[in-house]
């Protein structure tokens, strides 16, 4: 079973839902970003929040939301990341095709509706939108963390790096051997789903595949860095963000 499908099974897990505090009300207006529509690999279209780099560049960051959907918190993250000295276009994709959850029930519903095939089509479309000369970096949280790694795999030779926050790792060593960029994995030691044991296996698999994986685990629980979580761990989130920026700045020229 694909790693993304494994994670989607959590949509029916009540304990998983209870672990996610419902997002605080928030409205964000970007001075730089805008919503766009692009073609997807399955012949349909998808939505994304696009923040263009200040200087022309072939560097692209594809950002993937957690299980709430492409809400204003994620749009703020895209806007902020592009303005922190990272010379890249940021494309925050919408895996829910316009649906945004504000309750746990809706989040469970929308995550359960997302199929691996549709998710891959949306990400392939985003990679194609970036263009034939693009260097693609990916980042995502929770559900989006797993999809960020899958996006890096889908990007093939265009892949240049991936940051995944407590997402489901790919377990196929054959697939991991196709990764072209380094991976920064940010995890939570108290996570009941992406457990320390899951992380250790991911480290072993990446080593066997001959790929670079940098792991940072925090004394925190799943979704500690969730930008819409009223109970997020501030210190861990800030440190993880510093690591993320350092990882990207070292690789984005």
Give tens-digit pLDDT for 5-26: 788 888 888 888 888 888 888 8
Q: What is the pLDDT of residue 1?
A: 66
pTM of the model: 0.96
CA neighbor of 187 nearest in space, from 173, 161, 170, 168: 168
Whether pLDDT at 243 is above 90: yes
Task: Enter the tokens of residue 94.
Answer: 């919408």
82-119 pLDDT, tens digit per residue, is: 888 889 999 999 999 999 999 999 999 999 999 999 99
Domains of the chain by range and CATH?
A: 3-251 (3.40.50.1820)
């Amino acid at each position: 079973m694909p790693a993304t499908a494994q994670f989607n099974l959590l949509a029916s897990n009540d304990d998983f839902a209870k672990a996610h505090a419902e997002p605080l009300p928030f409205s964000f207006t970007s001075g730089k970003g805008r919503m766009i529509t692009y073609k997807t690999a399955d012949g349909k279209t998808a939505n994304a929040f696009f923040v263009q780099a200040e200087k022309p560049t072939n560097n692209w960051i594809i950002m993937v939301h957690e299980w709430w959907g492409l809400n204003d918190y994620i749009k703020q993250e895209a806007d902020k990341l592009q303005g922190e000295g990272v010379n890249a276009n940021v494309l925050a994709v919408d895996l829910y095709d316009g649906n945004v959850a504000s309750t746990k029930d809706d989040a469970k519903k929308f995550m359960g509706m997302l199929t691996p095939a549709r998710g891959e089509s949306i990400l392939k479309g985003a990679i194609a939108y970036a263009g034939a000369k693009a260097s693609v970096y990916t980042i995502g949280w929770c559900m989006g963390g797993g999809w960020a790694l899958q996006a890096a795999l889908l990007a093939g030779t265009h892949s240049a790096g991936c940051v995944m926050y407590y997402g489901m790792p790919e377990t196929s060593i054959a697939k991991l051997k196709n990764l072209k960029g380094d991976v920064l994995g940010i995890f939570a030691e108290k996570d009941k789903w992406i457990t320390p044991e899951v992380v250790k296996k991911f480290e072993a698999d990446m080593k066997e595949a001959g790929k670079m994986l940098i792991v940072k685990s925090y004394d925190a629980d799943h979704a500690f860095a969730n930008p819409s979580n009223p109970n997020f761990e501030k210190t861990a989130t800030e440190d993880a963000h510093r690591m993320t920026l350092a990882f990207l700045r070292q690789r984005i020229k």
